[in-house]
Amino acid sequence: MSAPTKGTDKTGSKSTAKLGDREATAERLLRSSVDKSYEPSIDIDWDAPLVEGKYGIVPERCSLYGTELWDDLTEEQRITLSIHEFCSVARIGLWFEMILMQMLLRYAYDRDPRRAHIQYALVEIADECRHSMMFAKATERYDVPDYAPKRRVHEAGRFFKTVGTGPAMFAGTLFVEEILDQLQREGMRDERVQPLSRMINKIHVTEEARHVRYAREELQRIMPKTNWWQKGLANFLTARIAAIVARNLIHPEVYRSVGIDPKVGAKAARNNPHHQEMKRWTARKLVPFLREQKIMGGPTDVIWRRAHLI
């Protein structure tokens, strides 16, 4: 049997127009990956001294900003907390990138590797591997604990990577990538932030822009072919992973670094209107798109609202 020609899917059905669009996008993303990618182990000077008086993240994005606990901290403590929060966000990002790599491998496993859009999936896996290493080295360089997700979150990730196929995979990926993108775009431009954090943000923003484009277009292609049951599952899974990530961006143990009881700090952050608004701000560009794609709406809006994402 002859191999399928470009313009047919794996069932042999003609789909020249859609595959043409998909392949053209993938070719552009592949060229961009060659022209503008980083190797963090080389492009970041990991031995450079940290700059005194610089924050880990934009101070206004710290979880306690605007609370009495924040007001009671010294400037040095605020900087320390911001560095620990940077590493906490990076750690939840690393956790999800490991999930994403496994889902993308499963996606590519069932498809023709000659296709540019599958080759780009493999490039994205390589990008995410480097990002995971970069986040790990950042935590090491900042000399903070490993703020690994709690056991139940870890196991939830295991479940999601097993069942999160098709629209759920791309929608969940978009959520995590978009909220990190919003925080990092702001952080990479703010001169109050440590050069190390800013360079990490720059690398991640540059390369994730391609990942976001890929995920958005794949989701748009998948949804018209998705039945009501698959849409309902994707709606629920996306809401759950969004809520889990939003609630675990800041590990309670970060507050111990500045002498605050983790339970007290976590409660203050959870009830902090400024922190709640920050979460909605990070999701503001993605929510309309997910609604348009029918990945949001209905009963699961309760989950998004409780997580302060809408």
- pLDDT per residue over 233-290, tens digit each? 899 999 999 999 999 999 999 999 999 999 999 999 999 999 999 999 999 999 999 9
Superfamily of domain 72-306 in CATH is Ribonucleotide Reductase, subunit A (1.10.620.20)
Q: Return the percent helix, strand and coil in the chain, to nearest 5.
A: 70, 0, 25
Q: How many CB atoms are located within 10 Å of the residue 66 CB?
A: 17
> What are the extents of the domains in the chain?
72-306
Mean pLDDT for the stretch of residues 209-213: 92
Question: Mean pLDDT over residues 126-148, rounded?
Answer: 96
Q: What is the pLDDT of residue 230?
A: 86
How open is the CA angle 233-238-243, to the nearest 5 degrees?
130
pLDDT band at 166 (very low <50, low <70, confident <90, very high): confident
pLDDT in tens, 197-207: 999 999 999 99
User: Exposed (0-12), middle (13-18) or buried (19+): which is 254, by Cβ within 10 Å?
Assistant: buried
**pLDDT (tens digit, 9 = 90+) per residue, 66-85?**
999 999 999 999 999 999 99
Give mean pLDDT, residues 21-28.
90
The 3-state DSSP class for residue 230 equals helix
Residues in the chain: 310
Average pLDDT over residues 82-103: 95
pLDDT of residue 8: 38
User: In this structure, what token pair is assigned to residue 296?
Assistant: 């949001």
Higher pLDDT, 56 or 226: 56
21: number of Cβ within 10 Å: 13
Q: Taking a C-beta distance cutoff of 8 angstroms, is the pair 128, 97 a contact?
A: yes
Confidence class for position 20, pLDDT limits 50, 70, 90: very low
In the prediction, which pLDDT does 164 show? 79
b/e map 228-237, b = 16+ CB within 10 Å: eebbebbbeb
Helix ranges (DSSP H) in 44-165: 68-72, 75-109, 116-141, 151-163
Two structure tokens written together for 38? 């980083």
Kindly state the percentage of the chain with pLDDT values over 90.
81
